[in-house]
Amino acid sequence: MTDKQDSTRRDFLKTTGTLAAASALVAGSTGHVHAAGDDTIQVALVGCGGRGTGAAANALSVKNGPIKLVAMADAFEDRLKVSHKSLSTSFGDKVVDVPEERRFVGFDAYRQAIDCLKPGDVVIFATPPAFRWLHFTYAIEKGVNVFMEKPVTVDGPTSLRMLELAKQSQAKNLKVGVGLMCRHCRARGALADKIQNGELGDVLTLRAYRMAGPTGSAATGRAPAGRNQLEWQIRRFHAFLWASGGAVSDFLIHNIDEGCWAKGDWPVQAIASGGRHYRGDNVDQNFDTYSIEYTFGDGTKMLVNGRTIPGCKNDFATYVHGTKGSAIFSTAGHVPARSRIFKGQNFTKDDQVWAYPESEPNPYQMEWVDLIQAIRNDESYNEVERGVKSSVVTSMGRMAAHTGQLITYDDMLTCEHEFAPGLAELSFDGPAPVVADANGKYPVPMPGLVVDREYEG
């Protein structure tokens, strides 16, 4: 099942017209010539699932100059075929110019796809997050711009690695977008400015919720008999902490990042709780509920609640409370935000004093409008450091729940437990980063028993 409230890139191909209209906001921009004698921006897609396919569609819908998809890569041929067919049907062969010889399958496929680009082109990384640092390293070496999905890291060692790579990419003047698309929402941005200009007074408390039914592959059963374990873990990546950071990192990161944006700061510590319920035959590494209390340096609290249990009350929103009033930062999912301010602490119509006055362009599209504009105009544009910080803060809350300990930002960043230390050598002929026991079950967090890492093994 998927989260029905979530407007994701999987829905993009159904709404191409709307998103293309949003991209027309910059249709008149001329920009710099992309390369000598040719201003076509070429795109390679690495990771051809629903998210990657939608990201590619967003890229191809930007209307400020010629752009085309020229290469595709995935670990699995079936996903690549479905993605190619969908994009070709929507955009045609002139825009999706990916013949058989530029469709690559396997763990090294990302290199082959990037090799089809020239410096200044763009590669999309929409593989499970574990692979982000590895793929980004090669993109920097080849001098290509990058769009990478969130989260950008899932543990301490890869976070330190990505911060160093961020510096390298900045030194090369590469343009890098990170898929925290809500940061490109015009309504949220207008509200964030008002909050930081003092219209709510001092921010005292932030609340964020993503409580829904089963989402993505977060709840996963045993691998079918004879199925390759590594293939199973990559295909069901939300279920495995090494691959995605699990449900917290892949889903709650948006609301956590919204709260940090509204506050204009990053929290310094977290305490949390969570648990597993009604598990049935599921053997994934996730909890079904997470409750996190973040503390900022000035003592402000941010309360985050996540749940993936069917039959319960749903909520998918972020709220801000200050000494002069309160605000709904986002309403019910990612699109539309319907951001607004109230004079008291109750979100009643009579108390509403401001609402975003314009139609909201879709932030999934606007993050691409902004990135491509920066490439064409050679503007400074690099979201990696912010993406790492958001990922670390999210992992900090996750680790607090999984260990039962108070975890600081520095604790998370310097934790030596790397979930997939042999990532560069992964092969379907070798072992997976986590191994199931004789009953097909994987190691799970045990708060209070395992306190220095999130799981044993």
Regarding beta strands 352-355 and 340-342, do their DSSP bridges make them parallel or antiparallel, or are they unpaired? antiparallel
Q: Quick check: 133 and 165 in contact, CB under 8 A?
A: yes
* Contact assessment for residue 160 and residue 378, using Cβ atoms and an 8 Å cutoff: no
* pLDDT per residue as tens digits for the range 326-364: 999 999 889 999 999 999 999 999 999 999 999 999 999
Query: pLDDT value at position 22?
Result: 39
CATH of domain 9-182+365-384: 3.40.50.720
Angle 275-280-281 (CA atoms, 0-180°, nearest 5)? Answer: 110
pLDDT in tens, 177-207: 999 999 999 999 999 999 999 999 999 999 9
How much is the average pLDDT of 292-321? Answer: 96
- pLDDT of 333 reads 87
CA-to-CA dists, residue 452 to 161, 286, 306, 375, 403, angstroms: 21, 18, 23, 43, 7
Element of type H or E holding 20 = helix 16-23
**Distance, CA of 266 to CA of 269 (rounded, Å):** 9
Question: Please, which pLDDT band fits residue 21 given cuts at 50, 70 and 90?
Answer: very low
Q: Hunting for tokens 């199925």 — which residue is that? A: 227
Q: What is 186-360+392-425's CATH number, 3.30.360.10, 2.60.40.1120, 3.30.70.260, 3.10.180.10?
A: 3.30.360.10
Mean pLDDT of 18-26: 38
Q: Say what the pLDDT of residue 332 is.
A: 87
> What's the whole-model pTM score?
0.91
pLDDT score, position 4:
39
Cα separation, 130 vs 419, in Å, equals: 9
CATH 3.40.50.720 domain extents, the chain: 9-182+365-384
Give the residue-averaged pLDDT of 399-418.
98
Task: Assess whether pLDDT exceeds 90 at residue 291.
Answer: yes
Q: Is the pLDDT higher at 23 or at 130?
A: 130
Asked if residue 30 has pLDDT above 50, the reply is: no
Label the pairing between strands 315-322 and 326-330: antiparallel
Dihedral pair phi/psi, residue 120, rounded to 5°:
100, -15
Q: Which amino acid is at 133?
A: W
Every domain of the chain with CATH number 3.30.360.10 lies at 186-360+392-425
> What per-residue confidence (pLDDT) applies to 439?
86
* Residue 366 token pair: 């606007």
Look at residues 187, 436, 439 and name the one whose alpha carbon lies nearest to residue 331.
187
pLDDT digits 0-9 by tens, 91-131: 999 999 999 999 999 999 999 999 999 999 999 999 999 99
Question: How far is residue 146's CA from residue 176's CA, in Å, rounded to a whole number?
Answer: 5
Over residues 152-161, the pLDDT tens digits come to 999 999 999 9
Q: What CA–CA distance (Å, rounded) separates 410 from 257?
A: 18
- Write down the residue that tokens 């993009």 correspond to: 12
**Of the candidates 77, 97, 75, the residue with the CA atom closest to the CA atom of residue 87:** 97
With cut-offs at 50, 70 and 90, classify the pLDDT of residue 457. Answer: confident
| Mean pLDDT, range 18-39, rounded to an integer | 42
Tell me the CA end-to-end span of the chain in Å, nearest whole number. 29
Strand order across the beta sheet in which 122-125 lies:
103-105, 67-74, 41-46, 122-125, 145-148, 176-178
- Residue 390: the pLDDT is 98
Determine contact, residues 290/272, Cβ cutoff 8 Å. yes
Q: Mean pLDDT, to the nearest integer, of 15-38?
A: 40
Q: To the nearest whole number, what is the mean pLDDT of the chain? A: 92
Q: Phi, psi (5° rounding) for residue 145?
A: -70, 160
**Contacts (Cβ under 8 Å, ≥6 apart) of 320:** 195, 200, 203, 205, 206, 259, 262, 326, 327, 329
C-alpha dihedral, 263 to 267 to 271 to 272, nearest 10°? 60
